[in-house]
Amino acid sequence: MPPQPSFRLLPGDAGSPVLLHVPHGSRTIPEEVRGGILLDDSALERELDHITDSHTAELAARAAESCPLRPWSYVNALSRLVVDPERFPDDREEMRAVGMGAVYTHTTHRERLRGPDFDQRPLLERYFNPYVRAMTQAVDARIAATGRAVIVDVHSYPSAPLPYELHGTGPRPPVCLGTDPFHTPPELRALAEAAFAGFGGTGIDSPFAGTYVPLKHYGTDRRVTALMIEIRRDTYMSEPGGPAGAGLDALAGALAELVGSL
């Protein structure tokens, strides 16, 4: 049986340069991957509550539907406990220090997720590499069609820091904007600050910094701009993994406003 697809590319308008990226919103773990995870079912459900950016796929979908020029969307169909497509797959990844590189070996509470002798290569080959290739192709397609690509990386984060966070002692604003010195021009940041101004404040690069750009383009191609939107979960849902609330619609409207301005 072929592996379960690790992503969904949802078409937008041909003239849109925007690619909404939702990498951490799924709780789905294929059966063959579940066998390599040490947690029992109840502990795994608790971990998924903490690690999943719940309702972000719905948030992006609602925003896309309300945009006059519909953006493209690239959505991870699997949990980040399968692979995390936004991590470097090698020693460049700082989160490897807490066992959360491209393939997680530890949980949000720094407990063992996989055994010490676990071979990560099959997961990288089966899920990580195809995801990254397809995302790169999606960015290339936006450049070919419009001359540029704008990646808006849609995430959420808990209101209180979790033990795995390397930079959890800083501010935790309602909306954190993750930026990159090469790929996030000041005007993109300013548009996001304006779009999300109504939620109690925005912050920059705290508690999470940076944004996702495929390695093919990273640090070299200025036609690719990018911004990470990190939404504090108490603004739209019951934590840690509960239902969405009224804030989801307002946030979708703000995201649509940002996309429309791009």
pTM attached to this predicted model: 0.95
Average pLDDT estimate for 35-62? 98
Q: Cα 80 to chain center, whole Å?
A: 9
Q: With beta carbons less than 8 A apart as the criterion, state whether 229 and 175 touch.
A: yes
- What are the pLDDT digits (tens) for 204-254? 999 999 999 999 999 999 999 999 999 999 999 999 999 999 999 999 999
- What are the pLDDT digits (tens) for 197-218? 999 999 999 999 999 999 999 9
Tell me the two tokens of residue 29. Answer: 């773990």
| Cα(57)–Cα(62) distance, integer angstroms | 9
